[in-house]
Amino acid sequence: MIAMERVSEKNSSGQPQKITCPVCGNDSEFLEVADEVVLTTRYVQNPDGSFSEEGDDSQILGEVSFLCGECHEDLTQFHQRFLEMLF
């Protein structure tokens, strides 16, 4: 595994620091992968017999990984930063 520097909150120009993959340089596409997930989807049956989704809930029972969307390098050490910047 390659050692990664900690992401600072702001760069020298005062802008928020972006997470960048140290392997391929990607700074725009990332994956969040959850193990052991229970997904519950609620449906209603329409008068014509078809079904429409009414909503869904998920429960994560396992670990969550944060990966580079390009090379799939494990960036889980930046997951908390990702969560803080998720809008």
Mean pLDDT of the 19-28 span: 96
Contacts of 55 (CB under 8 A, 6+ apart): 41, 42
Residue-level pLDDT at 4:
41
For the chain, give the mean pLDDT: 87
pLDDT at position 37 is: 97
User: Residue 17: which pLDDT band, with cuts at 50, 70 and 90?
Assistant: confident
Domain boundaries, the chain: 30-84
**What's the pLDDT at 12?**
64
Q: Model confidence over 35-62: pLDDT tens digits?
A: 999 999 999 999 999 999 999 999 999 9
* 5 pLDDT above the threshold of 60: no
What's the N-to-C CA distance of the chain in angstroms?
A: 30
For residue 68, list its beta bridge partners.
Answer: 30
